[in-house]
Amino acid sequence: MARPKHKRVIQQPPKIRGFKPIGHYSSGINSLELNLEEYEAIRLLDYENLTQKEAAEYMQISRPTLTRIYETARTKLSTMLVEAKQLVIEGGQYIFKNSWYECQGCLCKFNNPSEKNLTECIICGDNNIMKLEVVK
């Protein structure tokens, strides 16, 4: 039996759920799933311009594992572009570094660095808030 995957640490949730191509290819049938650790690898390496060593430390994984995740992410992104597929960002073996919440009212996400007991959204006051996973 394969060893269980160590959960990858994500700094903050993505602000969007995915992308749709513009034009007549925008069908829901052709979609790719980019999981959250793949999104995070792209964000840390290509957007934040970290080294692989630094990014691996942020995600609390080994450098070879990061490289594998990154390669998979790049392949998916290039497939999305060339084949005009929709991209959905969801799933994966991940955990958030800090406490993050999502308000079902205003749809904003917010963190809780003081680790207070939150019962309502800090923006709109709606008490329909959902806590996202956090690392212990």
Q: How many residues bind another protein (CB under 8 A)?
A: 24
Q: Which of 75, 93, 107, 130 binds another protein (CB under 8 A)?
A: 107
Q: Name the nearest CA neighbour of 67 among 55, 49, 80.
A: 55
d(CA 10, CA 14): 9
DSSP 30: S
- The number of beta carbons lying within 10 Å of the beta carbon of residue 136 is 3
Interface positions, 67-106, toward another protein (CB under 8 A): 98, 106
d(CA 22, CA 13): 25
Nearest-approach distance from CB 118 to another protein, in angstroms: 10
Build a one-symbol-per-residue string for 5-44: x at contacts with another protein by CB under 8 A, - elsewhere: ------xxx-xx---------------------------x
Q: Is 136 in the site for another protein (CB under 8 A)?
A: no
Specify the stretch interacting with another protein by CB under 8 A; choose among 18-26, 27-35, 71-79, 118-126. Answer: 118-126
Q: Which of 4, 28, 113, 136 binds another protein (CB under 8 A)?
A: 113
Exposure b/e, 34-58, CB count within 10 A at least 16 = b: bbbbbbbbbbbbeeeeeeeeebbeb
Which residue ranges make up the site for another protein (CB under 8 A)? 11-13, 15-16, 44, 48, 50, 58, 98, 106-114, 121-125
